[in-house]
Amino acid sequence: MKKTAPVAKNECIDVLFEDLTHDGAGVAKVDGYPIFVPNGLPGEKAKIKVIKAGKGYGFGRLVQLYERSEHRIDIPVEEAHKYGGTQLQHISYEGQLHFKEKQVREVLARIGKLEDVKFHPIIGMEEPWHYRNKAQVPVGEKDGKLIAGFFKPRSHEIIDTNESLIQHPAVNEAIQTVKEICSELGIQPYDEAAHKGVLRHIMARYGRTTGELMVVLVTRTAELPQKNKIVDEIFSRLPHIKSIVHNINSKRTNVIVGEKTKVLWGNEVIYDYIGDIKFAISALSFYQVNPDQTKVLYDKALEYAGLTGEESVIDAYCGIGTISLFLAQKAKRVFGVEVVPEAIEDARRNADLNGMVNAEFAVGEAEAVIPEWYKKGNKADVLVVDPPRKGCDEALLNTIIEMKPKKVVYVSCNPATLARDLRILEDGGYKTLEVQPVDMFPQTTHVEVVTNLELKMSN
C-alpha cells in the first residue's frame, strides 16, 4: 500500500516545534512526519501552512505563534535586511549557543557513538556582532539604480543593503562608499541573466588588529571604466585605505572572483595578526573572517597538541598556514600540506614574515601526500587535521591509523562528518579525550569543534 503524507499542500495546521534542523529551521511532527518551518523555535506552539508535502517530510510557513520561546527575539521588518546570511537572527545569543552545543553533543552520540568523552561547554563571544573582517557583495540594478547587498534566500534576487550587523563597521563603510561612487559615476552593474554589464561584486577586507583596509572591484570586463576617478574618490572618502584592487571574472559562473588580479593603487596585501603571528592578506587569500575566535580555536588546538618542543607535527589541510604557524611556536618541526597552490605560497610567505624556519609546506591532496611522506619515513608525533565540510578522506584516516601518531587534533566545521571520522579513528585505536565547540560565526548555524585524540596504550 502506497504511503501518503498525513498533511496536504496548502493545509493550515496547529503544531508544536520540537527541534531545530542544522540550518536553523523549526521541526514539527504530525504522526511522526517531520515538517520543516523557517523561524520556528523548539517549545513554541504555532499555526503553520504546509508549502510542500513530500513522501518522507514536508515544508511549511509560520502563520501565527500561540506560545513563544523564551529565546525568541523580534526583529522589525525594516531591520531584517541588515541580517543577511544570518539564519539564527531571531534567537537570543544564549539560545544560539545552547542550540549549537546541543547539536554537537547529539551528533557525536548518534553518529560517533562516543561515550566517556569530556565535553566542554561551547565558547561564545562577548560581543557577537560586527565580527566579520570581510564582505563580498553582489552588484545589480533595480529601477535603474545600482544596488548591492545579499541574495534573497534560495534566489538570485539582490536585496539592497547599506549595513550588515555581523560585518565590522569599517567593512560596511567601505562597501557602501564604493557602491555610492560607482553609482555616481554611472558604472554599469552586471546582468547575470544576459551576462552583460561591468561590476559584478564589491569586496572589502579589514585588518582588525592593524586597521588596514583593502577594496576589491570584481568586473566582467577586462577594463574598469573610469578607474582613475574611482581610485581618486575611494582615496578621498576612505583616507585610511591601503589597497585598491581590480579582479577580472569574465566567465558565466557563480564563483565570485576570477583568476586575474591587478593592483590599481597601494599595496598588494594588507596585514593582520592572530595572536602574535602576522599574516599577509591578498585579494584572493583565504583568511579567517573572525580572527578573535580563530585565536580561541587555535589556542585550544595548540593546548590539545601538548607540544614540548621536541615533536614533529603534520598539519593536513593547512591552508595559508594559520594552524601550522601556531604549532611552529612550540614544535620542533611542522609540515603542512594543502591542495591549493596559492594558499601554499601564502603559507610560505607568512612563515618568512614571522621568521619561522621550522615550518615546511607542500602542495597536494593530504590523502595523497601524507601517505607518501609516511612511506619515506616522515612520521609525525602529532597530526592535526582541519578538513573541509566533507571531512577527512578515507585514505588519510587509514594512513593516520597506520602511522600511529601519539596525538591527533581534529578541527572541524561540520559536526556530522567529525562524528563519522572520530568513529573510524576510535575503531582504529584512538581514544577521543576532549571535545570543545567554539562559536566562530554568531547569528549563523555554523559551529566549529576542536577535538583531542590520543593513541591507546595497547596500540
CATH T-level fold of 134-274 = OB fold (Dihydrolipoamide Acetyltransferase, E2P) (2.40.50)
- pLDDT at residue 1, as a whole number: 46
Question: pLDDT-derived band of residue 199, with 50, 70 and 90 as boundaries?
Answer: very high
Least confident window among 9-23, 79-93, 374-388: 79-93
**Residue ranges of domains in the chain:** 12-67, 98-126+290-455, 134-274
pLDDT tens, residue by residue, 410-424: 999 999 999 999 999
Q: Compute the average pLDDT of residues 306-313.
A: 96
Entry pTM:
0.91
Q: Compute the average pLDDT of residues 190-205.
A: 95
Q: Would you say residue 31 has pLDDT above 80?
A: yes
- pLDDT at residue 363, as a whole number: 96
- pLDDT at residue 424, as a whole number: 97
Higher local confidence (pLDDT), 307 or 21: 307
End-to-end Cα separation, the chain, in angstroms? 52
pLDDT tens, residue by residue, 226-236: 999 999 999 99
Share of the chain above pLDDT 70, in %: 97
Q: Would you say residue 163 has pLDDT above 90?
A: no
CATH top-level class of 98-126+290-455: alpha beta
CA distance linking residue 35 with residue 48, whole number of Å: 10
Question: pLDDT-derived band of residue 24, with 50, 70 and 90 as boundaries?
Answer: confident
Q: Which residues are designated catalytic? A: 413
pLDDT tens, residue by residue, 318-348: 999 999 999 999 999 999 999 999 999 999 9
pLDDT tens, residue by residue, 92-114: 999 999 999 999 999 999 999 99
- pLDDT at residue 82, as a whole number: 54
Q: Would you say residue 115 has pLDDT above 90?
A: no
Q: How does the average pLDDT of the chain come out, rounded?
A: 93
Higher local confidence (pLDDT), 144 or 350: 350
Q: Compute the average pLDDT of residues 449-458.
A: 90
Q: Would you say residue 374 has pLDDT above 90?
A: no
- pLDDT at residue 156, as a whole number: 82
- pLDDT at residue 80, as a whole number: 58
According to CATH, the superfamily of the domain at 12-67 is Nucleic acid-binding proteins (2.40.50.140)
- pLDDT at residue 142, as a whole number: 86
Higher local confidence (pLDDT), 262 or 377: 262
Q: Would you say residue 81 has pLDDT above 60?
A: no
Long-range contacts of 396-401 (CB under 8 A, 24+ apart): 396/316, 396/366, 396/367, 396/370, 396/371, 397/421, 397/424, 397/425, 397/428, 398/428, 399/367, 399/370, 399/371, 399/374, 400/425, 400/428, 401/425, 401/428, 401/429, 401/430
Same fold flag, 98-126+290-455 and 134-274: no
8 Å CB contact between 23 and 37: no
